[in-house]
Structure 1
């Protein structure tokens, strides 16, 4: 016996595709322009230009009834799909080898960053969702971490836009300042790779900073940065549990409910990373998947930019920006301190 929902599934999927196509097309065009921009200025990457272009276009002409569903679709589902595909950049072997060496720096910087985000953010009277986004973005991996966490905590487009912009601002500063610090301290390429990989957030910025220091630092820095991406998983699950307790007035959390709280896209992220470790993928296919994952992040941020409430960003003021500066400084200082204590500086 065939159920009605199964019989009508193709029709419903077709109707949904028609509904979101115009808005998704707009975000794809913006992402293509942003990708072109990143070719000329690699340190920017494509995510920030996509967000900025989306905000500018949205300020001139807000998404109408025809494009709004697709813009929202890009800012939510495409964002989650991008997180899944980020797993293609990792393998179990790289996680084990690099993880053992970099884990003390990663865990210490993350703990300091999240604690400071809570304390300093609260002292600056920054709303909880904004300080969470800036905290995980600074402590883990920039836009990717913000993409993973934002649907869990129900962040608004304006909050996501401000957090991403803040993170990228201090990434740009790091690209210029970190190589100078590395040379001043006489760091080896290996040590600088560990420093940049744990203290710079966006992958493109890690590549830029390591390249400016020494070409031999580049490979290790990128792998450290990608392994650091795994911190998304425990942080996201923890936030999901906290949100569940808050929304359900402290109701008991059973094992079944806990499993249900794990976002599907994090499961997908792990599955893709595991598959990438055991299934031989031709180099060309692997590179194409990495490119697609980066492009989807740009598409999603274009959608977020288009739907951003600029007035809400203005109301946020300078405090979140100050928080981002404090956290970025603390992460860099903590990373250097741990490297010194462990004899790697």
Structure 2
């Protein structure tokens, strides 16, 4: 993109902020926000590249914690137990298949492990947590993140129509999206598009799935003979559980929980706009066909297998 003048950069920033605020309104859906963010950057560039990355992480965490004020503990425990076996089985299957396909594609062990981790657990968060443990290079991390983010964008748009095609219930879709979509942002975005119950189920199962970052990172440290002290723990999940406890047992939470949940949903859609804006054509081109092929194979496997299991449960 050509260099912009000072005045043009000012207009670019104003329009970007305006688009971001529009995405926080009830009239913009999660898929539209994601695609809109990508198209904005493609056409006019990203005026807040560095700030956008930081804001995305904080907004996503705050949104997820806020959604906890719309849930109650007994329901969370029930859903968590139901998704535990399916989660454990899917994670194990993805890693085994990843090793096999990675060898067939002659990919490095670290690249294979990063893409498999992102697919098996929670996308970019898992890659970011596992990367320092396995001493991955910046190139390997970028390629893995690009692969996962691209497939996340596709999943956010594709999953709701597929769910309606198979007449999935709210509960079934929430469980399926939590198992088969990579990043928490896309899981919550797709589930919110499908319905409120789907959103609650998907958020609960996905965050329980995210806790697998800890054992997977420990095993990664053993396999790659690296320092286990580098493991990153998703502490914001504790705040999410705190919000659920407050909503379940503190009467005063009823004074603001509806407003907090509504604000969290709006912030989530705005977050997806920022995520889309951070996904450039250059990143997609830099991925390469081998990591993308691995990501697609693993994603199709977990999406189809988990859907078949859920349909027959």
TM-score, normalization by structure 2: 0.68
Name the residue aligned to 2:51. Answer: 73
Shift of 1:73: 3.1
Report if aligned partners of 1:27, 1:71 keep a CA contact under 8 Å in 2: no
Residue-by-residue CA offset, 1:161-205 (whole Å, 9 max, x unaligned): 44212222244343333433x35xxx7665555445533553333
1:225 aligns with 2:202: yes
Query: Secondary structure at the residue paired with 2:235?
Result: helix
Name the residue aligned to 1:250. Answer: 226
Query: Secondary structure at the residue paired with 1:202?
Result: helix
Name the residue aligned to 2:264. Answer: 289
Query: Secondary structure at the residue paired with 2:226?
Result: coil
Report if aligned partners of 1:110, 1:139 keep a CA contact under 8 Å in 2: yes
**Structure with bigger gyration radius:** 1
1:31 aligns with 2:24: no
Name the residue aligned to 2:4. Answer: none
1:203 aligns with 2:188: yes
Shift of 1:35: 5.6
Question: Number of residues paired by the alignment?
Answer: 281
Shift of 1:294: 4.0
Correspondence 1:147-226 to 2 at 5 A = 147-152=124-129, 153=131, 159-180=144-165, 182-183=166-167, 191=172, 194-200=175-181, 202-208=187-193, 211=194, 218-226=195-203
Shift of 1:96: 0.3
Segments of 5+ residues of structure 2 without an aligned counterpart are 1-9, 132-137
Report if aligned partners of 2:191, 2:202 keep a CA contact under 8 Å in 1: yes
Name the residue aligned to 2:301. Answer: 330
For 2:210 and 2:94, locate their aligned partners in 1 and report how far apart those are by CA, in whole Å.
Answer: 17
Report if aligned partners of 2:173, 2:198 keep a CA contact under 8 Å in 1: yes
Report if aligned partners of 1:24, 1:74 keep a CA contact under 8 Å in 2: no
Report if aligned partners of 2:102, 2:112 keep a CA contact under 8 Å in 1: yes
Segments of 5+ residues of structure 1 without an aligned counterpart are 1-20, 212-217
Name the residue aligned to 1:8. Answer: none
CA RMSD for the aligned pairs? 4.1
1:270 aligns with 2:238: yes
Between 1:191-200 and 1:89-98, the stretch displaced more is 191-200
For 1:241 and 1:52, locate their aligned partners in 2 and report how far apart those are by CA, in whole Å.
Answer: 39
For 1:106 and 1:246, locate their aligned partners in 2 and report how far apart those are by CA, in whole Å.
Answer: 22
For 1:128 and 1:56, locate their aligned partners in 2 and report how far apart those are by CA, in whole Å.
Answer: 37
Report if aligned partners of 1:112, 1:330 keep a CA contact under 8 Å in 2: no
For 2:283 and 2:307, locate their aligned partners in 1 and report how far apart those are by CA, in whole Å.
Answer: 36
1:94 aligns with 2:75: yes
For 1:129 and 1:30, locate their aligned partners in 2 and report how far apart those are by CA, in whole Å.
Answer: 38
For 1:23 and 1:149, locate their aligned partners in 2 and report how far apart those are by CA, in whole Å.
Answer: 33
For 2:287 and 2:149, locate their aligned partners in 1 and report how far apart those are by CA, in whole Å.
Answer: 14
Query: Secondary structure at the residue paired with 1:250?
Result: coil
Query: Secondary structure at the residue paired with 1:31?
Result: helix
Between 1:98-107 and 1:46-55, the stretch displaced more is 46-55
